[in-house]
Structure 1
Protein backbone atom coordinates (compact mmCIF):
# COMPACT_ATOMS: atom_id res chain seq x y z
CA UNK A 1 0.00 0.00 0.00
CA UNK A 2 1.35 3.42 -0.87
CA UNK A 3 2.13 6.07 1.72
CA UNK A 4 -0.27 8.53 0.11
CA UNK A 5 -3.13 6.04 0.36
CA UNK A 6 -2.26 5.25 4.00
CA UNK A 7 -2.25 8.99 4.84
CA UNK A 8 -5.67 9.35 3.25
CA UNK A 9 -7.04 6.40 5.29
CA UNK A 10 -5.48 7.85 8.47
CA UNK A 11 -7.15 11.19 7.85
CA UNK A 12 -10.53 9.48 7.34
CA UNK A 13 -9.93 7.38 10.48
CA UNK A 14 -9.15 10.35 12.71
CA UNK A 15 -12.12 12.30 11.31
CA UNK A 16 -14.37 9.34 12.17
CA UNK A 17 -15.34 8.75 8.55
CA UNK A 18 -13.56 5.42 7.92
CA UNK A 19 -15.34 2.15 7.36
CA UNK A 20 -14.55 -1.09 9.16
CA UNK A 21 -12.81 -2.43 6.04
CA UNK A 22 -10.57 0.66 5.87
CA UNK A 23 -9.66 0.29 9.55
CA UNK A 24 -8.69 -3.32 8.97
CA UNK A 25 -6.51 -2.24 6.03
CA UNK A 26 -4.70 0.21 8.32
CA UNK A 27 -4.21 -2.46 10.99
CA UNK A 28 -2.79 -4.89 8.43
CA UNK A 29 -0.47 -2.26 7.02
CA UNK A 30 0.98 -1.37 10.42
CA UNK A 31 1.35 -5.04 11.38
CA UNK A 32 3.44 -5.89 8.29
CA UNK A 33 6.50 -4.08 9.60
CA UNK A 34 7.07 -2.34 6.22
CA UNK A 35 5.93 1.05 7.44
CA UNK A 36 7.22 4.30 5.94
CA UNK A 37 9.43 6.33 8.32
CA UNK A 38 7.02 9.26 8.43
CA UNK A 39 4.15 6.90 9.50
CA UNK A 40 6.03 4.92 12.19
CA UNK A 41 4.56 7.11 14.91
CA UNK A 42 1.14 5.53 14.17
CA UNK A 43 2.46 1.95 14.28
CA UNK A 44 2.25 1.75 18.09
CA UNK A 45 -1.28 3.15 18.04
CA UNK A 46 -2.60 0.64 15.51
CA UNK A 47 -0.60 -2.16 17.12
CA UNK A 48 -2.43 -1.41 20.38
CA UNK A 49 -5.77 -1.37 18.58
CA UNK A 50 -5.04 -4.75 17.02
CA UNK A 51 -4.12 -6.08 20.48
CA UNK A 52 -7.40 -4.74 21.86
CA UNK A 53 -9.36 -6.33 19.05
CA UNK A 54 -7.45 -9.57 19.70
CA UNK A 55 -8.40 -9.30 23.39
CA UNK A 56 -12.02 -8.75 22.35
CA UNK A 57 -11.83 -11.85 20.15
CA UNK A 58 -10.29 -13.76 23.07
CA UNK A 59 -13.11 -12.57 25.35
CA UNK A 60 -15.69 -13.65 22.79
CA UNK A 61 -14.00 -17.02 22.44
CA UNK A 62 -13.91 -17.36 26.21
CA UNK A 63 -17.63 -16.56 26.43
CA UNK A 64 -18.42 -19.10 23.72
CA UNK A 65 -16.39 -21.76 25.53
CA UNK A 66 -18.14 -21.00 28.85
CA UNK A 67 -21.53 -21.14 27.14
CA UNK A 68 -20.63 -24.52 25.66
CA UNK A 69 -19.45 -25.83 29.05
CA UNK A 70 -22.57 -24.60 30.84
CA UNK A 71 -24.80 -26.05 28.14
CA UNK A 72 -23.02 -29.41 28.37
CA UNK A 73 -23.29 -29.42 32.18
CA UNK A 74 -26.97 -28.57 31.92
CA UNK A 75 -27.55 -31.45 29.51
CA UNK A 76 -25.70 -33.83 31.84
CA UNK A 77 -27.71 -32.65 34.86
CA UNK A 78 -30.93 -33.08 32.91
CA UNK A 79 -29.81 -36.56 31.87
CA UNK A 80 -29.03 -37.55 35.46
CA UNK A 81 -32.24 -35.95 36.72
CA UNK A 82 -34.28 -38.01 34.24
CA UNK A 83 -32.35 -41.13 35.19
CA UNK A 84 -32.97 -40.44 38.89
CA UNK A 85 -36.69 -39.88 38.27
CA UNK A 86 -36.91 -43.15 36.36
CA UNK A 87 -35.06 -45.12 39.03
CA UNK A 88 -37.14 -43.68 41.89
CA UNK A 89 -40.34 -44.32 39.94
CA UNK A 90 -39.39 -47.95 39.39
CA UNK A 91 -38.41 -48.35 43.06
CA UNK A 92 -41.73 -46.86 44.20
CA UNK A 93 -43.64 -49.19 41.89
CA UNK A 94 -41.76 -52.23 43.21
CA UNK A 95 -42.45 -51.19 46.82
CA UNK A 96 -46.15 -50.71 46.10
CA UNK A 97 -46.43 -54.10 44.35
CA UNK A 98 -44.61 -55.92 47.17
CA UNK A 99 -46.75 -54.15 49.78
CA UNK A 100 -49.92 -55.05 47.89
CA UNK A 101 -48.90 -58.70 47.65
CA UNK A 102 -48.10 -58.88 51.36
CA UNK A 103 -51.38 -57.21 52.25
CA UNK A 104 -53.30 -59.57 49.96
CA UNK A 105 -51.62 -62.65 51.46
CA UNK A 106 -52.32 -61.51 55.01
CA UNK A 107 -55.93 -60.75 54.10
CA UNK A 108 -56.48 -64.37 53.05
CA UNK A 109 -55.58 -65.75 56.49
CA UNK A 110 -58.58 -66.66 58.62
CA UNK A 111 -58.77 -65.70 62.25
CA UNK A 112 -57.51 -68.48 64.45
CA UNK A 113 -59.57 -69.49 67.45
CA UNK A 114 -57.73 -68.72 70.64
CA UNK A 115 -59.91 -71.06 72.68
CA UNK A 116 -60.79 -74.64 71.84
CA UNK A 117 -63.52 -74.84 74.44
CA UNK A 118 -66.45 -72.38 74.05
CA UNK A 119 -67.03 -72.40 77.80
CA UNK A 120 -63.47 -71.14 78.37
CA UNK A 121 -64.03 -68.40 75.79
CA UNK A 122 -67.27 -67.40 77.50
CA UNK A 123 -65.58 -67.33 80.92
CA UNK A 124 -62.70 -65.22 79.57
CA UNK A 125 -65.09 -62.76 77.89
CA UNK A 126 -67.08 -62.53 81.13
CA UNK A 127 -63.91 -61.88 83.11
CA UNK A 128 -62.76 -59.16 80.68
CA UNK A 129 -66.13 -57.43 80.68
CA UNK A 130 -66.21 -57.59 84.49
CA UNK A 131 -62.78 -55.98 84.64
CA UNK A 132 -63.85 -53.18 82.30
CA UNK A 133 -67.06 -52.64 84.24
CA UNK A 134 -65.20 -52.45 87.56
CA UNK A 135 -62.76 -49.89 86.20
CA UNK A 136 -65.59 -47.89 84.74
CA UNK A 137 -67.61 -47.94 87.96
CA UNK A 138 -64.52 -46.92 89.95
CA UNK A 139 -64.06 -43.99 87.60
CA UNK A 140 -67.71 -43.06 87.89
CA UNK A 141 -67.60 -43.04 91.71
CA UNK A 142 -64.60 -40.76 91.49
CA UNK A 143 -66.64 -38.56 89.23
CA UNK A 144 -69.40 -38.38 91.84
CA UNK A 145 -67.17 -36.13 93.93
CA UNK A 146 -67.16 -33.77 91.02
CA UNK A 147 -70.94 -33.55 90.91
CA UNK A 148 -70.82 -29.83 91.53
CA UNK A 149 -69.33 -29.54 88.07
CA UNK A 150 -72.55 -29.83 86.10
CA UNK A 151 -70.92 -29.71 82.71
CA UNK A 152 -68.63 -32.59 83.54
CA UNK A 153 -71.44 -34.87 84.64
CA UNK A 154 -73.44 -33.92 81.55
CA UNK A 155 -70.46 -34.88 79.40
CA UNK A 156 -70.19 -38.27 81.15
CA UNK A 157 -73.91 -39.03 80.76
CA UNK A 158 -73.62 -40.37 77.17
CA UNK A 159 -70.84 -42.65 78.35
CA UNK A 160 -72.98 -43.96 81.21
CA UNK A 161 -75.80 -44.64 78.80
CA UNK A 162 -73.42 -46.58 76.58
CA UNK A 163 -72.14 -48.74 79.44
CA UNK A 164 -75.56 -49.52 80.93
CA UNK A 165 -76.26 -52.33 78.45
CA UNK A 166 -72.90 -53.88 79.29
CA UNK A 167 -73.67 -53.73 83.01
CA UNK A 168 -77.13 -55.20 82.44
CA UNK A 169 -75.60 -57.98 80.36
CA UNK A 170 -73.11 -58.75 83.12
CA UNK A 171 -75.91 -58.86 85.70
CA UNK A 172 -77.83 -61.23 83.45
CA UNK A 173 -74.72 -63.44 83.08
CA UNK A 174 -74.31 -63.49 86.86
CA UNK A 175 -77.94 -64.58 87.28
CA UNK A 176 -77.50 -67.33 84.68
CA UNK A 177 -74.37 -68.51 86.40
CA UNK A 178 -76.06 -68.74 89.77
CA UNK A 179 -79.03 -70.66 88.31
Structure 2
Protein backbone atom coordinates (compact mmCIF):
# COMPACT_ATOMS: atom_id res chain seq x y z
CA UNK A 1 0.00 0.00 0.00
CA UNK A 2 2.87 2.30 0.79
CA UNK A 3 4.33 1.70 -2.71
CA UNK A 4 1.02 2.58 -4.35
CA UNK A 5 0.77 5.86 -2.41
CA UNK A 6 4.33 6.73 -3.41
CA UNK A 7 3.55 6.00 -7.07
CA UNK A 8 0.37 8.13 -6.90
CA UNK A 9 2.36 11.01 -5.43
CA UNK A 10 5.00 10.63 -8.14
CA UNK A 11 2.26 10.59 -10.80
CA UNK A 12 0.82 13.81 -9.41
CA UNK A 13 4.25 15.43 -9.54
CA UNK A 14 4.86 13.93 -13.02
CA UNK A 15 1.74 15.54 -14.47
CA UNK A 16 2.71 18.85 -12.85
CA UNK A 17 6.16 18.52 -14.51
CA UNK A 18 7.95 18.51 -11.15
CA UNK A 19 9.66 15.10 -11.27
CA UNK A 20 13.33 14.43 -11.76
CA UNK A 21 14.68 11.97 -14.30
CA UNK A 22 15.34 9.47 -11.53
CA UNK A 23 11.72 9.70 -10.33
CA UNK A 24 10.45 9.24 -13.89
CA UNK A 25 12.61 6.15 -14.18
CA UNK A 26 11.03 4.83 -10.95
CA UNK A 27 7.59 5.32 -12.53
CA UNK A 28 8.62 3.52 -15.74
CA UNK A 29 10.09 0.64 -13.74
CA UNK A 30 6.93 0.37 -11.63
CA UNK A 31 4.61 0.25 -14.64
CA UNK A 32 6.75 -2.44 -16.30
CA UNK A 33 5.81 -4.77 -13.46
CA UNK A 34 2.40 -6.26 -12.76
CA UNK A 35 0.17 -3.36 -11.60
CA UNK A 36 -2.59 -4.49 -9.25
CA UNK A 37 -4.30 -1.17 -8.47
CA UNK A 38 -7.22 -0.43 -10.82
CA UNK A 39 -6.67 3.33 -10.62
CA UNK A 40 -3.01 3.02 -11.66
CA UNK A 41 -3.72 0.43 -14.34
CA UNK A 42 -4.94 3.22 -16.66
CA UNK A 43 -1.44 4.78 -16.69
CA UNK A 44 0.37 1.57 -17.57
CA UNK A 45 0.04 1.95 -21.40
CA UNK A 46 1.43 5.50 -21.16
CA UNK A 47 4.62 4.46 -19.41
CA UNK A 48 4.94 1.21 -21.35
CA UNK A 49 4.74 3.24 -24.54
CA UNK A 50 7.74 5.25 -23.37
CA UNK A 51 9.56 2.03 -22.53
CA UNK A 52 8.70 0.49 -25.90
CA UNK A 53 9.94 3.60 -27.68
CA UNK A 54 13.17 3.57 -25.68
CA UNK A 55 13.67 -0.11 -26.52
CA UNK A 56 13.07 0.60 -30.22
CA UNK A 57 15.53 3.50 -30.14
CA UNK A 58 18.17 1.28 -28.55
CA UNK A 59 17.51 -1.38 -31.18
CA UNK A 60 17.82 1.18 -33.99
CA UNK A 61 21.06 2.51 -32.50
CA UNK A 62 22.42 -1.03 -32.43
CA UNK A 63 21.44 -1.55 -36.07
CA UNK A 64 22.94 1.83 -37.02
CA UNK A 65 26.28 1.02 -35.37
CA UNK A 66 26.42 -2.36 -37.11
CA UNK A 67 25.70 -0.69 -40.46
CA UNK A 68 28.38 1.93 -39.81
CA UNK A 69 30.94 -0.74 -38.94
CA UNK A 70 30.21 -2.67 -42.15
CA UNK A 71 30.34 0.53 -44.22
CA UNK A 72 33.69 1.42 -42.63
CA UNK A 73 35.00 -2.03 -43.53
CA UNK A 74 33.75 -1.61 -47.09
CA UNK A 75 35.29 1.85 -47.48
CA UNK A 76 38.58 0.57 -46.02
CA UNK A 77 38.62 -2.34 -48.48
CA UNK A 78 37.59 -0.09 -51.36
CA UNK A 79 40.40 2.35 -50.55
CA UNK A 80 43.04 -0.39 -50.59
CA UNK A 81 41.61 -1.99 -53.71
CA UNK A 82 41.73 1.36 -55.54
CA UNK A 83 45.34 1.93 -54.43
CA UNK A 84 46.28 -1.57 -55.61
CA UNK A 85 44.52 -0.98 -58.95
CA UNK A 86 46.38 2.30 -59.47
CA UNK A 87 49.70 0.61 -58.70
CA UNK A 88 48.89 -2.26 -61.08
CA UNK A 89 47.97 0.22 -63.81
CA UNK A 90 51.22 2.13 -63.34
CA UNK A 91 53.24 -1.11 -63.48
CA UNK A 92 51.33 -2.30 -66.55
CA UNK A 93 51.94 1.02 -68.32
CA UNK A 94 55.65 0.88 -67.51
CA UNK A 95 55.97 -2.68 -68.80
CA UNK A 96 53.97 -2.13 -71.99
CA UNK A 97 55.42 1.27 -72.90
CA UNK A 98 58.96 1.50 -71.55
CA UNK A 99 60.81 4.75 -72.08
CA UNK A 100 62.51 4.69 -75.44
CA UNK A 101 65.36 6.91 -74.27
CA UNK A 102 64.91 9.47 -77.03
CA UNK A 103 62.27 12.03 -76.19
CA UNK A 104 62.92 14.16 -79.32
CA UNK A 105 60.22 13.52 -81.91
CA UNK A 106 59.45 15.36 -85.14
CA UNK A 107 56.58 14.81 -87.52
CA UNK A 108 56.74 16.43 -90.96
CA UNK A 109 53.68 16.07 -93.20
CA UNK A 110 52.40 13.20 -91.01
CA UNK A 111 55.63 11.20 -91.21
CA UNK A 112 57.82 10.54 -88.18
CA UNK A 113 61.34 11.85 -88.66
CA UNK A 114 64.01 10.01 -86.69
CA UNK A 115 66.97 12.10 -87.95
CA UNK A 116 68.10 14.09 -84.93
CA UNK A 117 70.10 16.67 -86.91
CA UNK A 118 67.16 17.45 -89.19
CA UNK A 119 64.83 17.81 -86.19
CA UNK A 120 67.27 20.15 -84.44
CA UNK A 121 67.76 22.31 -87.55
CA UNK A 122 63.97 22.61 -88.07
CA UNK A 123 63.49 23.54 -84.40
CA UNK A 124 66.33 26.07 -84.66
CA UNK A 125 64.74 27.67 -87.72
CA UNK A 126 61.37 27.97 -85.99
CA UNK A 127 62.95 29.49 -82.89
CA UNK A 128 64.79 32.10 -85.00
CA UNK A 129 61.47 32.99 -86.70
CA UNK A 130 59.86 33.47 -83.30
CA UNK A 131 62.81 35.60 -82.12
CA UNK A 132 62.60 37.86 -85.19
CA UNK A 133 58.86 38.35 -84.62
CA UNK A 134 59.54 39.23 -81.00
CA UNK A 135 62.17 41.76 -82.13
CA UNK A 136 59.63 43.42 -84.44
CA UNK A 137 57.16 43.51 -81.59
CA UNK A 138 59.77 45.16 -79.38
CA UNK A 139 60.42 47.84 -82.03
CA UNK A 140 56.69 48.48 -82.41
CA UNK A 141 56.34 48.80 -78.66
CA UNK A 142 59.16 51.35 -78.56
CA UNK A 143 57.46 53.39 -81.29
CA UNK A 144 54.17 53.34 -79.41
CA UNK A 145 55.89 54.47 -76.23
CA UNK A 146 57.50 57.42 -78.03
CA UNK A 147 54.11 58.40 -79.47
CA UNK A 148 52.68 58.26 -75.95
CA UNK A 149 55.37 60.66 -74.78
CA UNK A 150 54.48 63.08 -77.58
CA UNK A 151 50.83 62.84 -76.55
CA UNK A 152 51.77 63.62 -72.95
CA UNK A 153 53.77 66.66 -74.12
CA UNK A 154 50.79 67.96 -76.12
CA UNK A 155 48.26 67.55 -73.30
CA UNK A 156 48.93 71.03 -71.78
CA UNK A 157 48.24 72.56 -75.21
CA UNK A 158 44.93 70.70 -75.39
CA UNK A 159 43.85 72.00 -71.99
CA UNK A 160 44.78 75.54 -73.06
CA UNK A 161 42.76 75.11 -76.26
CA UNK A 162 39.73 73.96 -74.24
CA UNK A 163 40.05 76.92 -71.91
CA UNK A 164 40.21 79.34 -74.86
CA UNK A 165 37.19 77.85 -76.62
CA UNK A 166 35.11 77.95 -73.45
CA UNK A 167 35.52 81.71 -73.17
CA UNK A 168 34.19 82.28 -76.69
TM-score, length-normalised on structure 2? 0.49
Structure scoring higher RCO (CA < 8 A, sep ≥ 6) equals 1
TM-score, length-normalised on structure 1? 0.46
* Bigger proportion of residues as helix: 1
